[in-house]
Amino acid sequence: MNLFMKNKAFTLIELLVVVAIIGILATVVVVNLTNAQKKSRDAIRLSDMSTITTALDLYYNDKQTYPLNRDDDHAGWDHGYFAGDGATDFIKDLPDNGYLAKVPGDPLSKDSTFYYRYLCQVPHF
């Protein structure tokens, strides 16, 4: 064995530095991915609201009134859209009359926790 031969192994400090750098990079990637998902959901919501607004305008142009909501609580708010629940479809008159292909659901509505709501108030004179 040669006494002047260098040890070719990594030191514990070097390994810890590499692990710390990888951990920091992974954290940055996860945070950016989460923010990108939030921005994507918000963009989908804005697009859905634009589509619903256009459908409501078309409905109003044809019928000179907005569709009634289908609420059971009589507070003026539609129940909203629950995925797969045809009885409480959000603004059901829009897809029924061809103004929308289908009512969009909130991007987080997989478990029917999040949904869009519609308020149609009739003015009282």
- 38-44's contacts with Cβ under 8 Å and 24+ in sequence apart are 40/107, 41/107, 41/108, 44/107
Q: What is the DSSP letter of 59?
A: H
Q: Considering only CA atoms, which of 105, 99, 121, 87 is closest in space to residue 53?
A: 99
Q: pTM of this prediction?
A: 0.61
Domain ranges across the chain: 12-111
pLDDT, tens only, 91-117: 777 888 888 887 777 777 666 556 677
* Contact in structure between 81 and 94 (CB atoms under 8 Å): no
pLDDT, tens only, 36-82: 988 998 998 899 889 988 998 998 899 888 876 655 544 544 544 44
